[in-house]
Amino acid sequence: MADNRAPNGQDQNEGPGTFLLAETGLLDHCEATTTWWLAPLFRQRYPKVLLDESRMLVSAGTVVTTGAAMGHLDLALWLIRTVSPELSTLVSRYLLADIRSLQATYIIPNHLAQADPMVLRFERWARENLKKGFSLQKAAEALATSARTLQRRCDAVLGKSPLAYFQDLRVEHAQSLLHGNDIDIEAIAAEVGYADGATLRTLLRERLGRGVRDLRSQLR
C-alpha cells in the first residue's frame, strides 16, 4: 500500500482520494474537503464526515485533505508554507499557481442540485424567485412538500440550508452581472433580491473572500 504520510507525519489525500480515507472510517467526525462537484455523493456516502467543499485544503489533526484536480499543488504549497511562507510564495510564482484557500468561487450550484430531484426543483424555483426574495414556506408549497422535508433534503445533499443555497444562487448571478460590464452594484443587488448594495457587498466578501472591485478586475 502506498504511503500517504507527509513529512510532518500527517496523512494526506486530495480530491477523490478523500473517498479512500472516508471509506476506512479515518475521517469520521473530522473536518475534510473534496472536489466540489463530488460533494453531494460524498456527503450521502459518508454522513459522519464534517465535509466543507468550499475550502481548498483542510488540515484536521493528523489528516490533510484537498479538493480540485490540481489539489496536489495546493497540498505541496501548504507543506512548504508550514516551514517557510516566503518560500511557498516564491514557489507558487515559479509554478504560476495562485495560493488559493477557497473553491467557493468555482462551484456551479446547479450541478450540485442535479444530485437530487427535489433539490433540483428547488434550484429552478429559486432562480425564478431571486428578485422576490427567499421564503421557505413558499418554496415548499411550490414543490408540493413540507418545509421540514425540503430543509432535510438540502442538508443531506448540499450540507446547507435552503436559505444558504438560495444565497449561493444570488452570489452566482451577481458574479455573472459583474462580468464584463459596469452595472451599478445597487442595480445588481435589486436583481438578486436585496434592497441595497451594502448587503450584497457583505455577502460576496463572506462567500468569495473578495470585494466587488477585486471581483470585477478578476472577471475582466
Give the model confidence (pLDDT) of 100-111 as tens digits: 777 777 778 888
Cell numbers that stand for 38 in this block = 463530488
DSSP code at position 106: G
| 65 bridge partner residues | 13, 58
Give the model confidence (pLDDT) of 4-34 as tens digits: 444 444 444 555 688 999 999 999 999 999 9
User: Could you tell me if 136 and 162 are in contact, meaning their C-beta atoms sit under 8 angstroms apart?
Assistant: yes
Is residue 215 included in any domain, yes or no? no
- Asked whether residue 42 falls in the same domain as residue 126, the answer is no
User: Could you tell me if 178 and 215 are in contact, meaning their C-beta atoms sit under 8 angstroms apart?
Assistant: yes
- Asked whether residue 187 falls in the same domain as residue 113, the answer is yes
| Domain CATH code at residue 136 | 1.10.10.60
C-alpha 176/C-alpha 125 separation (Å) is 19
Domain limits at 67?
Answer: 11-95
| Domain CATH code at residue 43 | 3.40.50.880
Is residue 55 included in any domain, yes or no? yes
Number of domains in the chain: 2
> Under 8 Å CB-to-CB from 135, ≥6 apart: which residues?
none
> Under 8 Å CB-to-CB from 82, ≥6 apart: which residues?
8
- Predicted pLDDT at 219: 54
Is residue 57 included in any domain, yes or no? yes
Q: What is the residue type of 85? A: P
Q: What is the mean pLDDT of residues 39-67?
A: 91
Share of the chain above pLDDT 90, in %: 44
Of 51, 73, 95, which residue is a domain's last? 95
C-alpha 179/C-alpha 215 separation (Å) is 8
Low-confidence winner among 68-72, 114-118, 128-132 (lowest mean pLDDT): 68-72
Best CA proximity match to 174, nearest among 137, 201, 146, 153: 201
> Under 8 Å CB-to-CB from 206, ≥6 apart: which residues?
none
**Number of Cβ atoms within 10 Å of the Cβ of 166:** 26
Give the model confidence (pLDDT) of 191-218 as tens digits: 999 888 888 888 888 888 777 877 776 6
Q: Say what the pTM is.
A: 0.72
> Under 8 Å CB-to-CB from 65, ≥6 apart: which residues?
12, 13, 14, 17, 18, 21, 27, 32, 33, 34, 57, 58
- Predicted pLDDT at 79: 86
